[in-house]
Amino acid sequence: MVSGGPNGRPVREMSASRRSAAAIAGALCAAGTRLLFGLPGGGPNLDVIGAAADSGLRFILAHGEAAATIMAATYADLTGAPGAVVVTRGPGLASAVNGIAHAALDRLPVVVIADTVPSGERDRISHQRLDQAALGRSVAKATVTIGGIDAEQAASHAVQLAITQPAGPVVVNIDAGVVNVDAGARDLLPQDAHLPSPVPGHDLAPLSAALRAARRPAVLLGPGALGHTQAVRAAIVGSGIPVLHTYRARGIVPDSCAEAAGLFTGGTMESPLLAAADLIIGLGVDPVELIPATWDYAARTLLASNVPTESARYFTGGLELVAPLPAAIEVLATRRARHSWPPAAGRTAKTDVTDRLCRAAVATPGRLTPQDVVTTVRAHTPPGTIAAVDSGAHMLVAMPLWTVEEPHRLLISSGLATMGFALPAAIAAALCTPGEPVIAFTGDGGLGMALMEVETAVRHHLRVVVVVFNDATLSLIKIKQCPTGQGGAEAVCYGPTSFAAMATAMGAAAACVTDVAELTAALAEALCHQGPTLIDASVDPANYPAIIDLTRGAAGRRSSRHK
C-alpha cells in the first residue's frame, strides 16, 4: 500500500525530489515542528518549502544561513520540538556550519535540510559540489541522505536521530538521484547515524552516602536538569542548600529563592561558595558550558546525568554517575535537611557578586556603563521577559544581572559561545511567544554579523528590542591583548557606527541613548511599539577589565573564547 503525500497525492506518483521533500516535511510535522527557517536556492529547496506549506509548516525567510540555523535551534530550545532549516547546496550548507555547531554543542535538535549535486551527475558536475556528508559529519550529530523509495523511512530516522538524547543537529542531504537509501547512499550514512544503545545506569549509593556525611553540600544545575524543573524545586527550595546554575540552566530554581546562589561558569565569582562546600553535586551539568579553568576545589564532586558527558575529565577527581536524574533528585530530597549552611547562604553569595559588579560601574559623562544598561532594562520589563544575550564583554554583566524566575528566559550560545547569536535567537523567541516583547542584548561586533535580520523582525512585525552596547570595540578581545597589545587598535577597534540609522533604514524604530533617563524613555516607547526597536546605547568600556577579573579571573583574561 502506498502512503499519501501532501493533499493526499500518492507518494510514488511524485517526482523523487518532491517525494523526499514530502517525507521530511511529514516527519517534522509528526514530531511537532511548526516553523521552518531558511534561505532557499532552487530545485529541491523549493520542493521542501512547498511540502512544508502543504503540511502546515510556516516558512520564515532569513538573510543568512547561520542566523536561520540559530533561529531553528532556539525554536527547538523553547518548544522541545525539532528545529528545522532549509539551505541550498554548497555555499548554503557551508554558511550554516556556525549555526549547526551551536546546535551541536548546546545539544539542541535541529534538522538541516540541504539539496545536493545528484549522485548520478557528480562525475560531470563540479559547480557548488562539496562533500556534504563529510562537512555535515564534522559538526553535526549525523548526516542522512534522503532519496528513492525509502524516503519516508530515512526522514523519520533523521528526525528521531535529532531528538534522541543527547539531542543534536542532523544534516539531511536530499539526493533525488538515489534509487534506494540503503543501496545508493550507504557511503553517506556514517556508522554513528544509528540510535545509541542505552547506557547502563550507576548505583546512586555513592550519592546517598556522600549526602549523609556532608554538612555543607552545594548543588550545580546544568541544562540536563531543565526537564526536571519541578522535581528540582521540590528538592531544593526551602532547604537552605545553595544552588549554582550554568548559563543554560538559569531559572530552574527561581532567582528570588534564598537558595539561588548565582552562576556557575568555571570562573571565579562562584569560588567563595564552592571553596566553603564539603560536597559538590552536579545535576545535568555539561562541561561544554564551562570556561577552560583548573578545577581545584577540595570538596568531593559527584555528577549525576541521564547520559554520559565525560564530566570527570573537567571536574578533576569527580565521579560521574550515569543514572536517571529523577532518582538522583529524589536522593537529594531525602537528605536535604542535613546541613550546616548559615541562613540564606545562596542569596548572600549571589548578592555579594551583584554588589561587586555594580560597584565596578564607572562611566565618563555622556556614556552608560554596561551595568546601567542591563539593570535599567531589567527594571522596566515584565518579569517573564525573554532576553537573548550575545557573546562578548557585555554578557559578563548581562548574565548575572538579568534575573529570571522560570527556565528558558535567558538565552545564550553557551557551548560554542558564538557571536551573532542574540538577534536571530530573539527573533525565534518572538515567533514562539507572539505579542510578547523579547530583548536582544548584543555588542556592536555581534550585531554586525547579523544586522540584516533586523529586516526579518520588521517583516514579521516582531516585538524585538535590540539593545546594542556600542563602544566601537571588540572589548573582551581588547582586554586579552594586554599587556603586550598584539596588533594594537587596528586589531580590535571599529569606526563610529550608527546602528540606529541602519535600523531606521530597514523600517524599525530606533533611538540613540547616552544616559539612564534616555534609555528608560526609549525602552518605554519600544515596549509600546508593535514591531522591532533598536536602542543604540553609547557604552563606556572602561570597567570591563574589573568585570572580567571578578567573573573570570586570570583564566578569563587568558582564554581565547568570546564568552
pLDDT tens per residue, range 98-141: 999 999 999 999 999 999 877 666 666 667 667 888 888 899 99
Q: How confident is the model at residue 482 (pLDDT cuts 50, 70, 90)?
A: low
| pLDDT tens-digit series, residues 71-105 | 999 999 999 999 999 999 888 999 999 999 999 99
In this predicted structure, what is the pLDDT of residue 74?
98
pLDDT in tens, 58-75: 999 999 999 999 999 999
Mean pLDDT score of the chain: 87
Q: What is the pLDDT of residue 270?
A: 93
What pLDDT score was predicted for residue 196?
42
CA-based torsion, 518, 519, 525, 526: positive or negative: positive
Buried b (16+ CB within 10 A) or exposed e, 510-545: bbbbbbeebbeebbeebbeeebbbbbbbbbbbbbbb
Q: In which element (H, E) is residue 470 found?
A: strand 464-470
Q: How far is CA 419 from the centre of its chain?
A: 11
Domains of the chain (ranges; CATH) run 6-188 (3.40.50.970), 205-348 (3.40.50.1220), 360-558 (3.40.50.970)
Q: Is the pLDDT of residue 495 over 70?
A: no
Q: What is the pLDDT of residues 17-26, one digit of tens each?
A: 888 899 999 9
250-267: average pLDDT = 96
d(CA 543, CA 247): 22
For residue 550, what pLDDT is reported? 81
Q: What is the pLDDT at residue 481?
A: 57
- The sheet with strand 243-245 has its strands ordered as 260-263, 243-245, 217-221, 279-283, 300-305, 319-322
- Position 487 pLDDT exceeds 60: no
Region 339-351 average pLDDT:
92
Residue-wise pLDDT tens digits, 454-464: 999 999 999 99
CA separation, residue 68 to residues 86, 347, 419, 465 (Å): 9, 38, 14, 19
pLDDT in tens, 32-45: 999 999 999 877 88
Least confident of 189-193, 461-465, 500-504: 189-193
Per-residue pLDDT tens for 208-231?
999 999 999 999 999 999 999 999
Is a pLDDT exceeding 90 seen at residue 187?
no
Virtual torsion, Cα 216, 222, 226, 231, nearest 10 deg: -20
pLDDT at residue number 560: 41
Write down the pLDDT at residue 65: 97
Looking at residue 308, its pLDDT comes to: 84
Residue 289: what pLDDT? 95
What mean pLDDT is predicted for residues 512-525? 97
Torsion of CA 529, 530, 531, 533, to 10 degrees: 10
The Cβ of residue 134 has, within 10 Å, a number of other Cβ atoms equal to 11
3-state secondary structure 47-115: HHHHHHHHHCCEEEECCCHHHHHHHHHHHHHHHCCCEEEEECCCHHHHHHHHHHHHHHHCCCCEEEEEE
The span from the CA of 446 to the CA of 421, in Å, is: 7
Burial (Cβ within 10 Å: 0-12, 13-18, ≥19) of residue 298: exposed
| Reported pTM | 0.90
Give dist(CA 272, CA 389) in Å, integer. Answer: 26
Q: What percent of the chain has pLDDT over 70?
A: 85
Residues 6+ apart with CB under 8 A from 407: 226, 229, 249, 250, 251, 252
- What percent of the chain has pLDDT above 90? 67
Tell me, what's the pLDDT at 536? 97
Average pLDDT over residues 542-562: 66
